[in-house]
Amino acid sequence: MRHYIYFSNEQDKENVTPELRCLVKAAVYAALSYEDFRKSAEISVTFTDNDGIQEINREQRNVDAPTDVLSFPIMSGDDSEADTDRSNGAVMLGDIVLNLERARAQAAEFGHSYTREVAFLTVHSVLHLLGYDHLTSEEADRDMRARQDAVLDMMGIKR
């Protein structure tokens, strides 16, 4: 099984290095592995800044404010063939929009590394693409947090 991760950089506030792209890929792979996702997956990742994500948030969610990450799942949840990219056989999980400007600020605010914050936001978003939603209940929030922590531990990323 092979995962396809497509990157787009729509900001100029943070340098998108090969190491950053590798970190995001590693976080995607770790989350899919932890969740025992046994098919090839396709995910697009867009790097943006506060202004860019605020515009998307306003257009897509009617929330006129920046946020750290947005997830746009594609999977229908019924194991439908419609969710498969016929060119590579991968299940199209969806899109991640990652605000690198906010990630840098949150890393400083929470007292951990930028690497940890980017990995955390990526894992968080992949879990959303897989259907988890921490906003539905306190139990769902605890479950998602535990999964995020377990994936970061798997990656050797500590607070």
The pLDDT tens digits for 133-142 are 887 889 988 9
Residue 52 lies in a domain: yes
CATH code of the domain containing 9: 3.40.390.30
* Structure confidence at residue 158 (pLDDT): 81
Owning domain of residue 40 = 4-154
- For the chain, strand residue ranges (E) read 4-9, 41-48, 69-73, 91-99
Residue 62 lies in a domain: yes
The pLDDT tens digits for 84-110 are 888 888 899 999 999 999 999 999 999
Residue 140 lies in a domain: yes
Statement: residue 15 has pLDDT above 80: yes
Residue 159 lies in a domain: no
How many domains is the chain built from? 1
pTM, whole model, 2 decimals? Answer: 0.93
Say what percent of the chain tops pLDDT 70.
95
* Structure confidence at residue 26 (pLDDT): 98
The pLDDT tens digits for 71-84 are 999 865 555 555 88
Residue 117 lies in a domain: yes
Task: Find residue 94's DSSP bridge partners.
Answer: 43, 73
